[in-house]
Amino acid sequence: MQILAVSANSTFSQTTFAESLKLPYPLLSDFPERKTIRAYGILNERSMTAIRTFFLIDPQGVIRRKWVIENPGGTVVYSDVVLKGIEEVIGKP
Amino acid sequence: MMTGASRAARTAVRTRWGAGLGCLLAGGALLLSSPSCARADSTLGPLLKPLGLHEYPSRVVPPSLNGGTVDHQQLATRDLLGKVILVNFWASWCRDCRPEMPVLERLHRELGRQGFTVIGINAREARDVVHRYARELGLTFPLLLDPDGKLNTLYGVVGLPTTFILGRDGRAVGLAVGPREWDSPSARALLQALLAEPVPRPSAP
């Protein structure tokens, strides 16, 4: 299992963010092109930022689950929801 | 009297500029990518580690520091070239920010003649709040306003205080998330090492 995080922020901004939260997984910068974010269909054209979304991709590279967070300020994403999705796709560890 | 820390600082400077000369001659693109440049920068590590600073191995260029200050001045990155800069993100409600302020003010006054400056960037507060805070603490270093949080976002700041150290070449050297003892021998050794670097020549218009 590999977690990758993608945002429309610069690598400079992401470095600060990762250091602040001591994140144990890589942050990928899609700035300034926003190619990946657009390709995944989650670019907010007004703010030019990514709509907060989780994608679960299987070992064959197929997107198996997607969670779109419509109200990122007010929505808490519980890990058990995502873990349940992972278990349904690749089975329990 | 030269302390152990200042000796380490001077050694670091000599090593960095000795090893880095080829990088500088090779041009801007290579300055960022050449492995020998990265090795030269890594000699700052011993000065960054005691302060618990994150090190930028290839000295990336930070976002521009253009904006208006609390006393209606305009600050532009080009005016700061050649200075060692401590960029401190803060807010008046931030409990850990407050004790750092008199220390930063002291360093700003003491090392200003050598080419050091502190720049405070407030997080989303009104001018009158920042003005009152600055007057109360007697702050004279530039305090940039960031009412919509654009600079905070560009720098990726999610917690306060967050502090960046920039070298005379304008590139990022270190990052501190949370408060630090900026008046400690370790911090002074780092600042002196950076101040000892040559001032880069301004590029042709």
pLDDT in tens, A27-55: 999 999 999 999 999 999 999 999 999 99
Q: Kindly report the nearest CA distance between residue A46 and chain B, in angstroms.
A: 16
Q: Which residues contact B82 (CB under 8 A, 6 or more apart)?
A: B115, B168, B199, B200, B202
State the residue for tokens 């989650």: A42
DSSP-derived 3-state class of residue B159? coil
Residue B60: closest C-alpha in chain A? A12
Structure tokens at B78: 């080009």
CA distances from A60 to A54, A64, A89 (A): 18, 10, 12
Terminal-residue alpha carbon distance, chain B: 43
How far is Cα B195 from Cα B17, in angstroms, rounded to an integer?
13
pLDDT number for residue A13:
97
CA distances from B105 to B125, B141, B191 (A): 20, 7, 15
Is B54 in contact with A10 (Cβ distance < 8 A)?
A: no
Is B177 in contact with A13 (Cβ distance < 8 A)?
A: no
Q: Where are the domains of chain B?
A: 4-195
**Cis peptide preceding B161, ω within 30 of 0:** yes
Nearest to B162 among A9, A12, A16 (CB): A16
CA distances from B27 to A20, A53, B56, B68 (A): 33, 41, 19, 33
Interface of A with B in 2-21 (CB under 8 A): 9-17, 19-21
Contacts with A9 from chain B: Cβ below 8 Å = 153, 156
What is the architecture, at CATH level 2, of domain B4-195?
3-Layer(aba) Sandwich (3.40)
Q: Kindly report the nearest CA distance between residue A30 and chain B, in angstroms.
A: 14
Residue A14: closest C-alpha in chain B? B156
How far is Cα B135 from Cα A11, in angstroms, rounded to an integer?
36
- Beta-bridge partner residues of B122: B90
Q: Most B CBs within 10 Å: which of A19, A23, A29, A47, as the mutation test of the B interface?
A: A19
What pLDDT tens digit does each residue of chain B (205 aa) get?
444 444 444 444 333 333 333 233 222 222 322 333 333 455 788 999 999 999 997 778 999 999 999 999 999 988 898 999 999 999 999 999 999 999 999 999 999 999 999 999 999 999 999 999 999 999 999 999 999 999 999 999 999 999 999 999 999 999 999 999 999 999 999 999 999 999 988 765 5
So what's the ipTM on this one? 0.84
